[in-house]
Amino acid sequence: MNRDDGPTSACCHGASSCVFAKALFARSAPCGLARRRAVAEREVIDCASAAAQLDCAALERRLRERARFALKLRTGAPLLHAQALRLQCGGLQGLQRALASASADVHELLRLARQRHGDLDELPWSHIVQALVQWQPHARRRPARP
């Protein structure tokens, strides 16, 4: 598999790994099909549905394709952690806004996108990419000094 073809979150966690795990770990989006489990001392997120995982991978590929210029991504280069977070969290937030959905659930957003637009290529990508570019991570809290 070409490095550019696979999901950004794919690693060594197995074939059922959640494509949007970074967004779920960042608590930017929930997913009703996500299953958390411990592997050694790490927590991983798996997808309960192989079909949903394929849909998520297709969305993630399109997010990466559509945001390539805006995020200055190089073809075939692995994403940095901050880039992957922006792509996943900002992309899902942009999709939620574009669909005017009250739910941020990844699986629900994909279902709604397919219901309304038929194909992922028909989504309002300019609005989604704009939200993706504007996404900022939560500011870290610093402990108060005594």
Q: What is the pTM of this model?
A: 0.83
31 domain-assigned: yes
Q: What is the pLDDT of residues 117-134, one digit of tens each?
A: 999 999 999 999 999 999
Tell whether 30 is covered by a domain.
yes
Q: What is the pLDDT of residue 23?
A: 95
> Mean per-residue pLDDT for 62-67?
94
Domain residue limits at 74: 21-134
DSSP string, 53-103: HHHHHHHHHHHHHHHTTTTTPPTTPPPPHHHHHIIIIIHHHHHHHHHT-S-
What's the domain count of the chain? Answer: 1
In a domain, 146, yes or no: no
Residue 94 lies in a domain: yes
Q: Domain for residue 6, yes or no?
A: no
